[in-house]
Amino acid sequence: MRQTTPPINTPASSDVPPITSKVRLLRGDRVLWIIIPILLLLSVLVVYSSVANLAYRTGASNGTVGDLFLTHLMHIAAGVVVLFVVYLLGSKIYYTFSLPAYLICLGLTILTYFVGQETNDAARSIKIGSFGLQPSELLKAATVLLLARQLDRKKDVIEKLKILPSFNPLKWIGKPALRKQWKIIKEGSFPILAPIVFSCGAVIYAHNSSALLIFAVGFLMLYIGRVHWRELLKLIVLVIAAGSLYIGLGIGRSSTALNRISGFVEDKPWAARVSELSDSDKAMIAIHDGGVTGMGAGRSVMRARLTHPESDYIFAVFIEEYGSIMAFVLLTMYMWIFLRAIHLFRRSEWLFGGLLVMGLATLVTAQAFLHVMVSLSLFPETGQNLPLISRGGSSMLCMGAIFGAILGVARQIENGTLLPPDRGESETGSTKL
């Protein structure tokens, strides 16, 4: 019998998969993979320019400008390592370890008040060798992580769930009513409210603005998670009442917050000497001097006048050196992060992953715009860093974990592995590169 050689099927050039599809490691949202390095590069440039004031104020205790700048580069490198580690873990790992991670961050934040180092009349960091860890920075991300998990677990009953008891005491009369109210707190809303309440309570004594930020992000997540608007309104009323009591009793740094608010609304003569101006006033001068195109890299004048130009007011230094056009581009990138999160949320088949991305992106964007509003004298001083730009080891580590989680969810969405556990198809922690 005659044998014939089977024809060799040569695929058309259009059918040959590109080499990059097999070796590309940075899967997920390509826009974010571009934005993150740009922000880190800008951080290198602006921190190098603004860190001289820190070296002058601290003297030999923190080293020279070169030493401080090298420390910042090491913090960036550590943040990038954390980003890739979290990116490779997968959403099932995030979900599984959300509660332990939250409890560790909450415990460290509370521990700071007993063994932490004081900064600006408040214990803020725990000394680990030469590194000062601020657990409150990590707690913000951990709160979003746990809240996303709790909302996902309650997704089937969330629209009918009462997250707070009735404000009418008459409805509490009688044992059946009391048992019902206790059930609401213990079994219904407690798992949802606990992350927000405990986190705000842990940080408010030393970080008023962080407590405000945590509540705002948590409130948005409750709204996205379909909590009924009447329950959200009750929560706002309760928070306003608690905040008024907190300020009225002078607890924690409430007096500092009042002083900042009064200084913010006070009408000051601009003819005052620079030494008598607040940091917000000096930031406005820096923004004015920067104009449209800026004074040029390394030519900021107000960096020597501001108290923390490398962190709390780095946006003002950025405008002074690079101008308002570049500042607009910078703000656009932060807004783009939020818009990409919305896109990922809509594509997510697992509510936990979608809520996690939205919560973390909202945290980054809200913190960025809060920092900018302070520099523009649109909000009282808060001390919030500009994400991925300001100098700070804890902030860089936290941002690395945040963007690692966002990109990790994006990678799973691209691979089609971001599925609810009840469908039995979710990722087991292995990574498909």
Q: What is the DSSP letter of 128?
A: E
Q: What is the DSSP letter of 186?
A: I
Where residue 296 falls (left for φ over 0; alpha for ψ -120 to 50; beta otherwise) is: left
Q: Which of 66-80, 135-149, 301-315, 396-410 has the lowest mean pLDDT?
A: 301-315
Separation CA 410–CA 12 (nearest Å)? 31
State the pTM of this model. Answer: 0.81
Task: List, for residues 95-106, the tens digit of each pLDDT value.
Answer: 999 999 999 999
Residue 125 dihedral angles phi and psi, to the nearest 5°: -140, 155
Q: Give residue 220's identity as a one-letter amino acid code.
A: L
> Band of the pLDDT at 380, cuts 50, 70, 90?
confident
Separation CA 164–CA 222 (nearest Å)? 13
Separation CA 327–CA 314 (nearest Å)? 11
Q: Which of 205-214, 245-254, 404-413 has the lowest mean pLDDT?
A: 245-254
Beta bridge partners, 131, equal: 128
Cα Dmax for the chain: 106
Separation CA 362–CA 118 (nearest Å)? 29
Distance, CA of 197 to chain centre: 18
- Considering only residues 38 and 208, tell me which one the structure prediction assigns the higher pLDDT: 38
**252-261, 292-301, 369-378, range with greatest mean pLDDT:** 369-378
Torsion, CA 121, CA 72, CA 76, CA 381, rounded to 10:
40
Helix (H) or strand (E) segment spanning residue 369:
helix 351-375
Task: List, for residues 179-200, the tens digit of each pLDDT value.
Answer: 555 555 555 677 888 899 999 9
Helix (H) or strand (E) segment spanning residue 261:
helix 254-265
pLDDT at 345: 94
> Band of the pLDDT at 430, cuts 50, 70, 90?
very low
Beta bridge partners, 132, equal: 127
Q: Return the closest-CA partner of residue 108 out of 140, 66, 78.
A: 140
Contacts of 64 (CB under 8 A, 6+ apart): 55
Whether 96 contacts 352, CB under 8 Å: no
Distance, CA of 89 to chain centre: 20
Separation CA 214–CA 26 (nearest Å)? 30
pLDDT at 433: 30
Separation CA 109–CA 122 (nearest Å)? 12
Half-sphere exposure of 235 (CA within 13 A, CB side): 22
Whether 346 contacts 79, CB under 8 Å: no
What mean pLDDT value characterizes the chain? 79
**Tokens found for residue 257:** 């917050």
Cα 322–Cα 328–Cα 330 angle in degrees, nearest 5: 75
Whether 289 contacts 302, CB under 8 Å: yes
Q: Which residue has the tokens 């974990």?
A: 401
**Tokens found for residue 347:** 């594509």
pLDDT at 193: 86
